[in-house]
Amino acid sequence: MLRLILGIGFVFCLMGATFAQDTIRVMYYNLLNFPDDSPERIEDLRQIMGYAQPDILVVCELQSSEGADLILNEALNVWGEDKFEAAEYVDGPYTDNMLFYNSDLLGFIGQEEIPTDLRDINEYQLYYKNPGLGASSDTIYLNLYGVHLKAGSGFFNRRKEQAIVLKYYLNTLSNAENIFVGGDFNFYSGNESGCLAIRETGDVDLFDPISSIGDWNNNGAYANIHTQSTRTAPLADGAGGGMDDRFDLIFTTADVLDNTNGINMIEGSYQALGQDGDRFNSAINSPYNPSVPDSVSSALYFMSDHLPVLLDLKTDYTADISSHVKPNVEWFYNATTNELVFNQPIQNAQFELYDLSGKLILQQTIEIAQTIEIPSHLNNGLFCWNLLEDHAVLKGKLVKK
């Protein structure tokens, strides 16, 4: 039987358009009291990071600077990589937030702690390293906020009070643009008072990028966006019960959605990693989860009782870049012949194939071709590929079976 893997079948494949290599992926993740008594979970986090490949990672429920160092050195800067840097770890009350970023794409400006009655909300400011950036040039700024509000169904008012603290702080910003407010909000509904405060109070409106405000808790109609819990039964730490809550979100300002200030969220990129919509009251790895490799669904199960949420951004540079890759390029993987098949010829391009760890395993120049052969001797598994033509790149993933 001829087995075809369509390009649109992968969560992270950007098909039908071309993007510069500096598309920016933002991820927020509740790490469940990391490292606690199980620092070996760094192996699970390494697996998740190797698959998702975020450029900005904001975490909550971090317990120590040692945990931050583990993340930086054993989950991000691995396999010869050294581009990731971290904000300053601040040991606030209770558990902490932290930011890590790809320093090839982004520069760090500064950070602030915003106290609440439970734990800090953390502000991190980054700038985009525009390839044409000069001493007198302007650039694109990103303002990121790490949030972890009070948990529990009986604490609606405390979550509202913490949300208002943040919104009052945003009122004071002189440059309130390209704002991302993400983390574990513990909202049982998009209509509870804390979520309304996040979205509507103050001078800076925040938006759910996928316009899915509703009564999420234990509601199968929202199964495709639930983020907690990855397990049906609790492990040593964390909650069980299966996927039935949308606690983890990323809110943005309107300029991120309409490209007012230089960056634009890529439509369809907002994801709860591993959420295929068939997890309601079930675990992330059982029954079989086709949206991610088995190794990743297992890592998501053991790493935390929450799923990470992420979105992709493109910049004005990305949008305006000269591209020789023709528009409306589509592709599929023919697993019988081990070939990538395109709907139009590819010319004068560089093809790169990577394994899941990020190791470059094949690089070749394509003068003109409509198919690209994948080496048959490779082990079965998931592979990432880039097709670079001048300053543009088409990205995809394939499963070799």
Predicted local confidence at residue 348, as pLDDT: 85
Note the pLDDT tens digit of each residue in 147-200.
999 999 999 999 999 999 999 999 998 888 999 999 999 999 999 999 999 999
The C-alpha atoms of residue 310 and residue 337 are separated, in whole angstroms, by 34
Q: Can you tell me the distance from the alpha carbon of 230 to that of 234, in angstroms, rounded to the nearest whole number?
A: 9
Asked if pLDDT for residue 8 goes beyond 60, the answer is no
CA distance 91 to 113: 10
pLDDT given at position 317? 54
Could you tell me the pTM of the whole model? 0.75
Cβ-contact 118, 97 below 8 angstroms: no
Residue 116 pLDDT more than 90? yes
Least confident of 29-43, 47-61, 323-337: 323-337
Q: Alpha carbon of 71 to those of 48, 76, 148, 174, 230: distances in Å?
A: 12, 6, 19, 33, 21
Highest mean pLDDT among 153-162, 347-356, 362-371: 153-162
Distance CA 255, CA 263 (A): 8
Give the residue extent of every domain in the chain: 4-11+323-400, 24-319
Q: For residue 179, give every residue at least 6 positions away whose Cβ sits within 8 Å of its Cβ, in sequence order, or none.
A: 143, 144, 145, 170, 204, 206, 252, 253, 256
Write out the CATH class of domain 4-11+323-400. mainly beta
Q: In sequence order, what are the beta bridge partners of 246?
A: none
Distance (Å, rounded) from C-alpha 219 to C-alpha 223?
7
Both tokens assigned to 9: 């079948």
Residues 6+ apart with CB under 8 A from 48: 75, 273, 296, 299, 300, 303, 308
Q: Which CATH number fits domain 24-319: 3.60.10.10, 3.30.559.30, 2.40.30.30, 3.40.50.300?
A: 3.60.10.10
Burial pattern 360-396, b for ≥16 Cβ within 10 A else e, equals: eebeeebeeeeebebeeeeeeebbbbbbbbeebbbbb
pLDDT value at 7 more than 50: no
Between 334 and 114, whose confidence is greater?
Answer: 114
Given a cut of 50, is residue 135 above it in pLDDT? no
Alpha carbon of 391 to those of 8, 18, 120, 319, 322: distances in Å? 23, 10, 41, 12, 7
pLDDT for the residue 345: 86
Instruction: Compute the C-alpha angle 32/59/102, nearest 5°.
Output: 140
C-alpha to C-alpha distance for 164 and 55, rounded to whole angstroms? 29
Number of Cβ within 10 Å of residue 155's Cβ equals 16
Q: How many whole angstroms separate alpha carbon 262 and alpha carbon 24? A: 12
Per-residue pLDDT reduced to its tens digit, 66-98: 999 999 999 999 988 899 999 999 999 999 999
Q: Given this model, what pLDDT does residue 13 score?
A: 35
**Residue 230 and residue 304: Cα distance in Å, rounded?**
7
